[in-house]
Amino acid sequence: MLIIRRRRGESIVIGEDIEIEILETSPTQVKLGISAPKDVTVLRSEIRITRDVNRTASTQAADPETLSLLVEQLRESTPETTTVVSPDEKKPTIL
């Protein structure tokens, strides 16, 4: 894992076409802006875990222990509120 310090207005570039910019910081949160090609999927980890749980449940009779583990990972990674701003929207959406 690479650990790097950045301040508001600074960014990190991944590969040739993904940029992560620090938009805002507070003592408890960091707001990131992610620019990536449309063919690159960008997901919050809790959304990815939920998607994986749904896939597992829909494709096979899942082992209850596996589902319990995935649900616990989701609970641990889910913040109280998450703000999502779409490029097409002017107001943020709070999830």
Position 44 scores a pLDDT of 87
Position 95 scores a pLDDT of 47
pLDDT values of the chain reduced to their tens digit, one per residue, 95 residues: 889 999 999 999 999 999 999 999 999 999 999 999 999 988 888 888 888 777 776 766 657 777 777 778 777 776 655 555 555 555 554 54
Position 81 scores a pLDDT of 55
Instruction: Let me know: does 52 contact 60? Beta carbons within 8 Å.
Output: no
Burial 60-76 (b: 16+ CB within 10 A, else e): eeeeeeeeeebeebbee
Position 35 scores a pLDDT of 95
